[in-house]
Structure 1
Amino acid sequence: MQSFNKIIISGGGTGGHIFPAIAIANQLKVKYPNIEILFIGALGKMEMEKVPQAGYPIKGLPIAGLQRKLTLSNFLLPFKLLKSLWMAFRIIKNFKPDAVVGVGGYASGPTLRMAVFLGIPTLIQEQNSYAGKTNKLLSKKVDVICTAYPSMEKFFPKSKIVLTGNPVRTEMVKISEKRQEAFNFFGLDPNKKVIFVMGGSLGARTLNESVLYSISRIEEKNIQILWQSGKYYYKSLLENKEIQQSKHIFLNEFIQKMDYAYAVADIIISRAGALSVSELCLVGKPCILVPSPNVAEDHQTKNALSLVNNQAAILIKDSEAKEKLFTSAFELMESHSMQKNMSENLLKMSFPHATENIVRQLEKIIK
């Protein structure tokens, strides 16, 4: 087994890229306590805040994405790219890493290109079932590509692909042991069923509107709704009279103890981001997915279909969610055989040791 001294991890832009990167860093620290880890992100993006909060240093590149309309930012893009390539070259040259990991997002492009140019071992971690543009462009040059889904050879060279799954938070394992504690934490009644509506840290308007549309039916069914509304919607929802009067709605802006939320849930309603899907597989709770239509290449629908095609989830289109979402949820709640089948199929698709497997691939490529 090869030992590590220094590693660079690059990428970000969204939580779907950042949190796997931090999970990989944490696993490296567990296995190699003296390792130095440096992150490279894009200036002004979420990683510049989240990575230091996790205890790691980060350097920012001025790289940005292409805007859909003609803007000054688009005109400056070639200059930003050249500057980012030069900065990545200097950072790598000075830091002298044993390997460079790219998790997708703007910053991973220049960083991995320069790592390849300098002859440093490189690894890509692709979270989605539909590969991002940056990772597709880099795939021919890097040493290994760790994927979360099978059949990714349509995007990447087959010889470089290793199916590892997505890194997920370690506290998501063995959630059943936390169930009673979790009911107490949220103030929920353990004798009533729970639907967990998970809208992401910022929120999902369609999911929130669907809950509001179905409040009267929720009351009739005597089902509890544990609801993460997101910070954009929380204040206005707090002022809603129906929510204030309901004994079945438990509204939260953001839930820190996500393992507790999964533990109490009988059914989960969620978007279909890569990390959410991976965690849903790991916890094995029946789920209804409403893919966001506002993402590149409609990748959330593709993530959701990977579960639906294995009878592990139900998919509801965003445009149909308001009318159909809770009708589907109530039907699922009444079908114990469907819930059991879904749970079994979800668990079959899980990768509880994904992070360890990615670190193992890193060990293999260090010369």
Structure 2
Amino acid sequence: MNYHPKVEPTQGLRIVITGGVTGGHLFPGVALAEEFTSRDSRNRVQFMSIGNELEKKVLEKKGFELIPVRVQGIKGRGIVNLIKSVFKLPSGLWRAVQSLRNFNPHLVISMGSYAAGPATLGAWLLGKKTVLCEQNILPGVTQRLLSLFAERIYVSFEETGKKFSSAKVRCLGNPVRSEILAALSKQEPFNPEKDSGAKPFSLLIVGGSQGAHSINMTMIEALGCLEDKKRFRFVHQTGVQDEVLVRHAYEVYGTEATVAPFFEDMGNLYHEADLVICRSGATTVAELTALGKPALFIPFPHAADDHQVLNARSLVVARAADMIFEEELTGQLLAEKIQYYAANRILLFQMAEKSKLSGHPDAAKNIVEDCCELLGGSQMVFSGSLNSVVPF
């Protein structure tokens, strides 16, 4: 039955955001949730995903409800795990359908990953409106399948839209969290005299929400190759496994560094960094381009369909970033890159300007506005700034 609940003026919208597992899928969903609730305090947002520790920690801090659904990925898991995953699908779908019936959302938004499958399929079975947010330049298997049920598909790259029905596609960018965008107000015009050696060259090293062991180990090796180590200041997100080892290496080399398994205040860290060394997941790319930060990408070599290389290459071609393939990564090469960019601040400024041209800092706002337009349809119109929904 196609049942789209009416939105009464005193009730606001009910939104389900599904998908997550990693920060790359979760954080854009959080950005959308914040945009919905900041527009109208009556709007309610519920997340539906696997309920891992990252999701629990982030969503509890943000004050959003999380409904856990049992589901596992299918691609590349081997025959035994594939069978286990398939047997979990019915119970995950049943749980999703029951939760959707209870919450009765006006809209379900899929952020991708296998965790989005049950809620999006359940929404279709219940006749709920659904939309997709595809962050990567090359869509994953889950999103390609779920696109059959979606009424809108929001993409970050023009090229991505070619993978879906053109009538559904809107290229509006990848949503970025408000605390990241807050760093935009702190940016100052480039000053060659001030920014060309008077202060330490600041590097932010981030391997994603869970760290990256290969980057951590190569950075330790690079420390031994760097000349004049006092010129540099490092902020290094290691993940839990390598924190102690990496911190000890910086201490041994007498290099100024802040080391932690995970940083909360990424907006300020991006702002203070002269160069960011990182993976090239879609959310990282969106954050960097929204702020206009130059990056040295080291794509994760085992990403599905090699999408991290594709994400990075789009900025490398635009001369907004540099890239090292992991199979070519050595401590010596990384040290040479760091020293090269430290000696060429004007080049970094030019990369930053090109990066900003690729950014979509208003992505969350524009996607939410389009969702509201979709919900308006033949049942309701919007009053004023789209903060309220009024029936005909």
Length-normalised TM-score, structure 2? 0.84
CA distance in 2, matches of 1:90, 1:254: 35
Q: How does 1:174-213 map to 2 (within 5 A)?
A: 175=183, 178=186, 191-213=199-221
Which residue identity is paired with 2:236? W
1:173 alignment partner in structure 2: 181
SS at 1:70 equivalent: helix
* Equivalent residues of 1:148, 1:163 under 8 A apart: yes
Question: Structure 1 residues 179 and 254, CA, compared in 2 at 3 Å: closer, same or farther?
Answer: farther
1:262-289 CA-partner distances (Å, limit 9, x unpaired): 2221111111111111111122122110
Structure 1 residue 338 corresponds to structure 2 residue 347 = yes
> C-alpha offsets along residues 228-283 of structure 1, whole Å, 9 cap, x if unaligned?
2222101122334x633414444333332222222221111111111111111122
1:329 paired residue number: 338
2:78 to 46, 69, 79: 69
* Residue 95 to residue 231, structure 1, CA distance change in 2 (3 Å): same
Instruction: Determine if contact 1:168/1:355 at 8 Å carries over to the other structure.
Output: yes
**Mapping of residues 184-333 of structure 1, within 5 Å:** 191-220=199-228, 222-240=231-249, 243-322=251-330, 323-333=332-342
Separation in 2 of the partners of 1:21 and 1:95? 18
- Work out the CA distance in 1 between the residues paired with 2:13 and 2:267: 33
Corresponding residue for residue 169 of structure 2: 161
SS at match of 1:232: coil
Q: Which runs of 5+ in 1 are unaligned?
A: 181-188
Q: Cα gap change, 1:264/1:45 in structure 2, threshold over 3 Å: closer, same or farther?
A: closer
Q: Give secondary structure in 1 for the equivalent of 2:204.
A: strand
Are 2:182 and 2:267, in contact at CA under 8 Å, matched by a contact in 1?
no
State the aligned residue count: 356
Q: 1:290 Cα deviation (Å)? A: 0.4
> Residues of 2 paired with 1:44 and 1:193: CA distance?
36
Q: Would the alpha carbon gap of residues 238 and 46 (structure 1) be closer, same or farther in structure 2, given more than 3 Å must change?
A: closer
**Partners of 1:86 and 1:253 in 2: CA distance:** 36
Alpha-carbon separation, structure 2, partners of 1:176 and 1:101? 27
What code does the residue aligned with 1:289 have?
F
After superposition, the Cα gap between the structure-2 partners of 1:83 and 1:254, relative to the gap in structure 1 and judged at 3 Å, is closer
Could you give the per-residue CA deviations for residues 117-175 of structure 1, whole angstroms, max 9, x where no partner exists?
32221111111111011110111221001111111133211111111111112233363
Decide whether aligned partners of structure 1 residues 144 and 338 sit closer, same or farther in structure 2, where only a CA change above 3 A counts.
Answer: same
Q: In structure 2, do the counterparts of structure 1 residues 42 and 230 end up closer, same or farther at CA, with 3 Å as the change threshold?
A: closer
What is the distance in 2 between the residues matched to 1:251 and 1:111? 38
Distance in 1 of aligned mates of 2:210 and 2:54 = 13
Counterpart secondary structure, 1:218: coil
Alignment correspondent of 1:78: 86
Query: Does the Cα contact within 8 Å between 1:175 and 1:259 map onto a contact in 2?
Result: yes
SS at match of 1:34: coil
* 2:137–2:307 CA contact under 8 A, matched in 1: yes
Q: Do the aligned partners of 2:56 and 2:66 also contact (CA within 8 Å) in 1?
A: yes
Counterpart position of 1:6: 14
Corresponding residue number in structure 2 for 1:36? 44
Q: 2:68 aligns with which of 44, 60, 63?
A: 60
Code of the residue aligned with 1:299 in structure 2: it is H
Give the residue type in structure 1 aligned to 2:240. Answer: K
**C-alpha distance in 2, partners of 1:174/1:33?**
21
- Please name the residue that 1:183 is paired with: none
Cα 1:53–1:176 change in 2 (3 A) is closer
Q: State which of 359, 363, 366 in structure 1 corresponds to 2:368.
A: 359
Q: Which letter maps to 2:372?
A: E
SS in 1 for 2:337: helix
Do the aligned residues in 2 keep the contact of 1:41 with 1:48 (CA within 8 Å)?
Answer: no
1:50 partnered with 2:72: no
CA distance, structure 2, for counterparts of residue 245 and residue 273 of structure 1 = 30
Give the gaps of 5 or more residues in structure 2: 1-6, 189-196, 378-392
CA 1:223–1:52: 2 relative to 1, 3 Å: closer
Q: Is contact 2:17-2:109 (8 Å) kept? A: yes
Q: Deviations over 1:155-197 (max 9, x none)?
A: 21111111111111223336376589xxxxxxxx972222222
The question of 1:93 aligning with 2:139 is answered: no
Which segment drifts farther, 22-31 or 227-236? 227-236
Please tell me whether the aligned partners of residues 14 and 44 of structure 2 are also in contact (alpha carbons under 8 angstroms). Answer: yes
Q: Is the 8 A contact 2:32 2:175 kept in 1?
A: yes
Q: After TM superposition, give the deviation of residue 85 of structure 1 in Å.
A: 2.1
